[in-house]
A and B are shown apart, each in its own frame.
Chain A
Amino acid sequence: MKVYWVLALGWAASVSAQDSSALPREVIDEAVTRYNAPAALRAVGRLTVAADQDIKGDVAVIDGPVTVAGHVGGRLTVINGDLQLIAGATVDSGVLVVGGTLAAPGGDSVRVGGAALVFAQKLRYHLEGERLVVSTETDPIKNWWTRWLHRRDRPNYTDITLTSAHTYNRVEGLPIFVGPSIRRALPWTNGSLSVDALGIVRTENFAEWNKQTFGYRFGADMRGGEDPRLTLALRAYDEVAPVENWQLGDGEVGLASFFFRRDYRDYFERQGASGAVSVVNDARTSLTLSLADEHWYPRAERNPFALIPTDDGWRPNPTLDDGNLRLVALTARIDTRNSETDIWSGWYAIANLEYGNGHISHFGARSPPEAALIPVTPVPGDVNYTRLFLDLRRYNRLAPNAQFNVRAVIAGWLAGDPLPLERRFSVGGPGTIPGFDFRSAGDDAPDVASCSAVPAAPAGRPAECERIILGQAEYRTAFHFGLRMFGRRIENDGAWVVFTDAGRGWLVGPRLGALQYPASTFPNLRTFMTDAGLGVTIDPIGVYVAKALSRPEERPHFVIRVRRTF
């Protein structure tokens, strides 16, 4: 028998090789039937039938190539691969090639019984178990899902990014980032290179159009490896940064500012560059070493729009220190929580050790060391310091619907000169000890919340504590409720929360009053601010009532949070 060929030229010439919809229906059916036949020998990938091999029955292969030198006793079907019949090859019952080519360098020594059909168009298919199923038309779910699955892994893209800074504040209004973002895969490192060149436009300064209206953030990240993954990051920036961002979330600060003209953070401008090397394991544990050279500038508050403005206006943004600093920081993060959003068990810890060295050309005003009348401003000079921040949390599930969680925040000065204002701390208020007002331990009490000398505190009442300690504990029990409202049945899950907090801040130095202690001394526990309260959460909103215990005359405080307390 001679080999003869049938080439589907008409289809191949007119359509893309990837378009299986151009294949004749009967060809598709035949290929699928042959592959799914119970008695067929099925293979995926490269297949070689050696000269001394004798396969009885049908053979069907997808994603070849296939090389035959021996004997196939039935039909040979190759889908989306090339077939080569070399000298001595024998196929008893015909050949069907779909999505590939057929070559027979063996010439007359090749024997094929029956028809030899070849179609260049690929067959679009998927496997359900071992069964081949054809996508005869564009399958929106699978193709869409494939795109969705891989969208995070797109190796290369070029985007224009337009984004907010996730918060709204009294210094910038709403800062907007705009600029190109590029990502390229680096196969030799099993990683990627990402570059962002973002400009910052501050809505509050937009009408004046000056230097303060704009900033920038340029960055390049190179990632490589896989568990652990190594990341190298370089940054250059001119941006407004918060002094403390660990108490409340960005969204909460923004909402409180926008709706109620209450900004719970202080800000400064920093301009400079940094580099960081990180080792990341399992995406939830990391160790980062960073170096930075920055110039810190004080920034004054503006008057951005607030929906429900208070009579007092915006709290002044404190005048912080102005100077050049070089920073070296080591940051470790460990996260063994069962989930980042539905937390029931595990550890979460962040530790940051920072060494700063530089020159302060203008110190911001600080509270006087004793009950003087006006704040004091140190003379310009060199500064170097070492500072630690540790946030340690443990989540414990007691029962299917109950958990008991604890948190400790320990932070402050370790060595060197007094901390710059940009690196100081405070407690008290909705993010830490909600039984007290923001940065206040009471009108006539030593200010163990922000370590200021009331009434001689600097404008804006900055965070002045050089050390803080905070302990939080909560018990949560979940509940499910259902009710009928406006003709609809509504069911949801929520949680009751009972909590207590304790903490304070202090300065480091020779013992002075109730605010300053030597480095090796720990304040008496009786001087701590303590509170307790209860609340109810229906994610993501939580409503709480907190009452100060250490200060009975303090009124209860009503707090709304839009994320977990910790």
Chain B
Amino acid sequence: MLGAVLGGGAGAQSVPRVEISVPQVVPPDPPAGPQVRGVDVLANGTIRDLMRSGFPARLHYHAELWTASGVFNTLESSRDWDIIARYDPLTKHFRAARVNPENAPERVEMLGDFDHATALDSTLADPYVVPLIPRERSRRYYYVVALDVDVVSLSDLDEVERWLRGELRPAVRGQRNPGGVVGRGIRTLFLRLIGAEKRHYEARTKIFRSG
């Protein structure tokens, strides 16, 4: 039952997941942060269909560095960043950008322009080195990373956010037809029902000793 992993047959579909690994420290190189990659996180029929229908996908990463010394573990530092991926129906290309890397809120790094979804998946699976480096040497640490994937309506982003906060909470600009509020709210609820809700992935490293 729970806890049992039943393997698939030959050619089994790759499971969406986030991975985090600690690179080996090779002196005299300075220690580097962990490598994080999202594997096949957008390789989902529902998500792909939503993206082709004009809904951008947002991948929110949250990485933490914990010390494993003493009775209780303590959080030493954390980092957040996002990857936004969108399908352009005119060019029929996927585009992706990383935002808020290294806690620079205005900085946008374009990851590329892809003519196939597999190319986008491949880029998203490239390791990203997170600047989370242990402050002390010879202490026991581990990393934790969480990835939330959601697909949101480009034009109704504010309404979606309010729905997510308050269950039934669309909001309308003063210029819009207030009668459309309910329609947009139903559309947003529909997004959640059809699988546009947030997908959550987590991964942890083993405990390691900082060099």
Contacts and interface: CB of A to CB of B under 8 A. Distances in A.
Asked if A pairs with B, the answer is yes
B15 A141 contact: no
Interface stretch (B5-13, B28-36, B115-123): B5-13
Interface string A398-430: 111100000000000000000000000000000
A162 B181 contact: yes
B97 interface: yes
Contacts, number: 132
Given A345-B74, A481-B5, A163 B168 contact: yes
A144 B86 contact: yes
Contact of A159 (B64, B167, B172): B172
B49 interface: no
Contacts of A149: 99, 105-106
Contacts of B71: 396, 398
Contacts of B56: 141, 144
B146 interface: yes
Interface in B104-136: 105-106, 108-110
Contacts of A493: 200, 202
Nearest to B142: A400
A489 B12 CA distance: 9
Interface string B76-119: 00100000101010000001110100000110111000000000
Interface string A142-165: 101111110100000111111110
A166 interface: yes
Nearest to B113: A141
B167 A539 contact: no
Contacts of A128: 109-110
Given A128-B109, A400-B144, A345 B6 contact: no
A161 B163 CA distance: 12
A4 B3 CA distance: 79
A251 interface: yes
Nearest to B173: A159
Contact of A345 (B5, B73, B99, B170): B73
Interface in A509-566: 536, 539
Interface residues of A, number: 48
Given A483-B4, A483-B5, A162 B172 contact: yes
Interface string A333-375: 0000011001011100000000000000000000000000000
A397 interface: yes
A146 B107 CA distance: 10
B168 to A, nearest CB: 4
A126 interface: yes
Contacts of A338: 64, 75, 78
Given A162-B181, A163-B166, A489-B12, A145 B174 contact: no
A11 B86 CA distance: 32
A491 interface: yes
B167 A166 contact: yes
B157 A148 contact: yes
A484 interface: yes
Interface size class of B (residues with CB under 8 A): 35 or more
Contacts of A400: 66, 68, 73, 142, 144, 204, 206-207
Contacts of A209: none
Interface in A486-506: 488-489, 491, 493-494
Contact of B86 (A141, A494, A536): A141
A246 interface: no
Nearest to A161: B171
A159 B13 contact: no
A10 interface: no
B26 interface: no
A26 B109 CA distance: 25
A140 interface: yes
A481 B162 contact: no
- 9 pairs of A and B residues whose beta carbons are closest in the complex: A163-B169, A397-B73, A164-B168, A482-B5, A158-B174, A396-B72, A338-B75, A400-B204, A141-B97
15 contacts: A128-B110, A140-B154, A142-B108, A145-B84, A148-B84, A159-B174, A161-B171, A162-B170, A163-B168, A164-B166, A181-B171, A251-B167, A342-B146, A491-B17, A493-B202
Given A144-B86, A400-B68, 13 more contacts: A141-B56, A141-B96, A141-B110, A145-B99, A148-B157, A161-B169, A163-B166, A163-B169, A338-B78, A399-B73, A400-B66, A481-B2, A491-B17
